[in-house]
Amino acid sequence: MPPGITTLAADAPTLSAANTGFMLICSALVMLMTPALAFFYGGMVRVKSTLNMLMMSFISLGIVTILWVLYGFSLAFGTDAGSIIGWSQDFVGLSGIGVTELWDGYTIPVYVFAVFQLMFAVLTPALISGALADRVKFTSWALFITLWVTVVYFPVAHWVWGAGGWLFELGVIDFAGGTAVHINAGAAALGVILVIGKRVGFKKDPMRPHSLPLVMLGAGLLWFGWFGFNAGSWLGNDDGVGAVMFVNTQVATAAAMLAWLGYEKLRHGSFTTLGAASGAVAGLVAITPAGGAVSPLGAIAVGAIAGVLCAMAVGLKYRFGYDDSLDVVGVHLVGGIAGSLLVGLFATGGVQSDAKGLFYGGGLDQLGKQAVGVFAVLAYSLVVSAILAFLLDKTIGMRVEEDDEVSGIDQVEHAETAYDFSGAGGGSSSRPAPPAPGTTAAPTNKKVDA
């Protein structure tokens, strides 16, 4: 994500209607990714948890939006303070921003940049929710989101993308969120599940997806929305870099899906729809940090490597005993790490910057920078997220009661169920009503359905 750039007054850009419109469309596409994620996760859980899974994503749209306006944008993209956090009073409440005031060095209004970045902030905690399926109190989850974006996401976004942020100043390349979004969310998911523990029946009961069509719908919408997520992160459409990112997004996603399916066929003997959907998401995750630095051939390599690595990683939860319900760690953490580190190998030096990877004559310099970014974000998010989960668990409690988890979290937390099976079969009933107490049923010659 390019930060603000200081320019001479004579060279100051003017508002571009084309770029402004482009970025508003990209913002809408990124917003779509949160309900798309809800569908993707919602189809992967059992029937009794469907609504809760949908709501764990949707509530982020409400909470994070308000926090972003109140102080989140200021913390993430305000004037740098010590390379750790930002703060600008004009950004608090978005109250001191002029209607046509431009984001520094760009041709789009500050409001447009703010709303585009808002959609990233909304999506990131929603990603965490997939690891916690079936067992978390909704009130506790809402409070966790509030605390997590405040002390983890907003500062990390400043480190990576904010002018003066220490990872940005170091030269870490993260085009659209490999560290700030995916590693951040994946590490947080691991931290929380290590605190709250496993689902009842983990490794014993079948926990298969209840609706693979819903999973595929969610994956398709994520793929669609991801073009705004990635291509829009150049904040304009003037020099072709966004177009390269668009192409690389498609290419890497296709390569990862094929690689995951190939691994799955060799390992398990089948090409599954869940594998296709998961492989596509793994490719999207991996190309997010790398797509502005690599060529389309490099994007194929990034996608294929990530597809295989993530397919292998999803089984680690059974080996090590952590219950990552919907493979957030296996896909987002591992995919984000892979994509971020592969920049250090495949960066051509001819797209978003002149930084070159090892395979293009750049030596190990960029790979080292990428590794610092990866492990700094991973460690910070893992530790702080675990602390937040521990504090919530010891105060208001993070988990529902065991009996409620077994019977179904939808009914307990939301007083609803995703599907009403009482009318299955349709049509009006021809079965006669039972007689009133103390009376004898009248004879009938009507045929009664079995």
Provide the token pair at 3: 């930060």
159-186: average pLDDT: 98
Is the predicted pLDDT of residue 1 greater than 60, yes or no? no
pLDDT digits (tens, 9 = 90+) for 238-267: 899 999 999 999 999 999 999 999 999 999
Is the predicted pLDDT of residue 440 greater than 60, yes or no? no
Find out whether 105 and 7 touch, Cβ atoms under 8 Å: yes
pLDDT digits (tens, 9 = 90+) for 307-355: 999 999 999 999 999 999 999 999 999 999 999 999 999 999 999 999 9
Find out whether 322 and 194 touch, Cβ atoms under 8 Å: yes
DSSP state of 232: G
Q: What is the pTM of this model?
A: 0.91
In whole numbers, what is the pLDDT of the chain averaged over residues? Answer: 92
Which pLDDT score is estimated for 8? 46
pLDDT digits (tens, 9 = 90+) for 379-432: 999 999 999 999 999 999 999 999 999 999 999 999 999 998 775 554 444 444
Question: Tokens 């179904």 — which residue?
Answer: 408
Task: Work out the number of other CB atoms within 10 angstroms of the CB of residue 412.
Answer: 17
Q: Are strands 80-81 and 85-86 parallel, antiparallel or unpaired?
A: antiparallel
Split at pLDDT 50, 70, 90, the class of 144 is: very high
Cβ within 8 Å of residue 449, ≥6 positions away? 429, 430, 431
Which pLDDT score is estimated for 432? 46
Cβ within 8 Å of residue 380, ≥6 positions away? 152, 156
pLDDT digits (tens, 9 = 90+) for 78-133: 999 999 999 999 999 999 999 999 999 999 999 999 999 999 999 999 999 999 99
Alpha-carbon torsion angle 139, 73, 326, 272, nearest 10: 140
Which pLDDT score is estimated for 292? 97
Q: Report the Cα 278 to chain-centroid distance in Å.
A: 13
16-42: average pLDDT: 98
